[in-house]
Every structure is written in structure tokens, then in C-alpha cells.
Chain A
Amino acid sequence: RKEVEQDPGPFNVPEGATVAFNCTYSNSASQSFFWYRQDCRKEPKLLMSVYSSGNEDGRFTAQLNRASQYISLLIRDSKLSDSATYLCVVNGGDDMRFGAGTRLTVKP
């Protein structure tokens, strides 16, 4: 079983839609969690951290459920520019494990 698992998608949604991604992790001792965004043929970049109480950054909301060992990312009012691959990342101590990524395409 992979340490971090994501639905690979692809998710194809119209502009303005709300879309949600989930990610599960196997290491119950994991300490911190993140969402990264990767554009085609580019390097991953930090989108947002995920806090225990949940956190919001504009149209993006991240949540953590430690009991069920999953994190989620919600994108509201999606824009064409949101098209990318979204990677969840789990820090189990010192190492950083990435999910395979969920590909999102927002269409006009």
C-alpha cells in the first residue's frame, strides 16, 4: 500500500464549479500536511499547508481528519488558471511523501 494515496482523476469541470480532492495517508504518526500545485512540465510549488482546525485561503479550503487519516482540498468558483495537478504531501518526521497527484482541468 502506498504511503499517500490520491484519486488521480482527471477531474474536468466547468468554470465556476466547486471541486474537491481527497488524499489518504498510512502513517498515523504523520505530523504535517500540505497541498502542492504542479503545472505541466514545471516543478511542484506549495499551495497551502493543512492545519488540524482546517484553513482557508481565498477560494481554497483545506481540511485534515486525523482519525480517518485523510486530508482534503476544496476549490470554489474554479478558474481556468486552476488547471493543474494537485499533490498532497505528508510529513512523517523529516521526510516528505507525495501523493501521485490529481489532475484538474477547468473548462470555459
Chain B
Amino acid sequence: DAGVIQSPRHEVTEMGQEVTLRCKPISGHNSLFWYRQTMMRGLELLIYFNNNVPIDDSGMPEDRFSAKMPNASFSTLKIQPSEPRDSAVYFCASSYLNTGELFFGEGSRLTVL
């Protein structure tokens, strides 16, 4: 079975550019989470969706970040404009509501120069 699929795996971009990260959750999962991981701050929850509806986006750093989930099989996290401090690994994870186990994608490693 396919797990959570993220793309791109790696992206290097210049400050000011738009970055779009993509995620395909496991089929049948109701919840989708976006996390950001850095050495300094660990794994931070940015936003999560239940049944494609954003539930809590309080972790989104600022207005430069936005996330969408147009359907049950696809989500995007967009950063516009990007800044060097956005450099991190961005993980997408999905779960079936209330089971608790999160399944993570392999992450998207973003470097903003």
C-alpha cells in the first residue's frame, strides 16, 4: 500500500520566491497534518485538516504561509514570499480520525538562500 507521498523531496530556492509543497495522504484517512521540523524548534504543528476542513491553523508562522486541501487526496502548503528562516524539513502526516497513529511522509527538505 502507498504511504503518505510528499513532493518535492528537496527544494533549494532563493529568498522571495514562492514555494509549494504537496502531499497525498493515505487513502481513507480523514485527518491531515502539516509539521515543520528544525534543530532549534523540533517538530511544530503548522495546521491540520479533518475531512478536508482546516481545524486549527494557529501554528502557521505568519501570513506568508497558507495551506489548502481541495479534496481528500491532496493538500498543499505554500510559502510566499519565502525567507531563509523558512528553511526546514516539512512533514505531512495523515491518520484515520481518533485512532491516534500518524503516518508521515518522507518530508520535503526546503532550503531558502
Contacts and interface: CB of A to CB of B under 8 A. Distances in A.
B55 interface: yes
A96 B102 contact: yes
A99 B100 contact: no
Contacts of B100: 32, 34, 49, 91, 96
Contacts of B45: 95-98
Contacts of B35: 98
A93 to B, nearest CB: 9
B31 interface: yes
Interface in A85-108: 87, 89, 91, 94-101
A44 interface: yes
A91 B31 CA distance: 13
B25 interface: no
A99 B91 contact: no
A95 B98 CA distance: 10
Interface residues of A, number: 20
A53 B38 CA distance: 34
A62 to B, nearest CB: 13
A66 interface: no
Nearest to A32: B100
22 contacts: A36-B102, A42-B106, A43-B104, A43-B105, A44-B102, A44-B104, A45-B104, A49-B100, A49-B101, A87-B43, A94-B48, A94-B56, A94-B97, A96-B45, A96-B95, A96-B100, A98-B42, A98-B43, A99-B42, A100-B41, A101-B42, A101-B43
Given A49-B100, A95-B33, 8 more contacts: A32-B100, A43-B105, A49-B101, A94-B31, A94-B55, A96-B93, A100-B42, A100-B43
Interface of A: 32, 34, 36, 42-46, 49, 87, 89, 91, 94-101
10 closest cross-chain pairs (CB), A and B: A100-B42, A43-B104, A98-B43, A46-B101, A32-B100, A44-B104, A43-B106, A43-B107, A95-B48, A95-B56
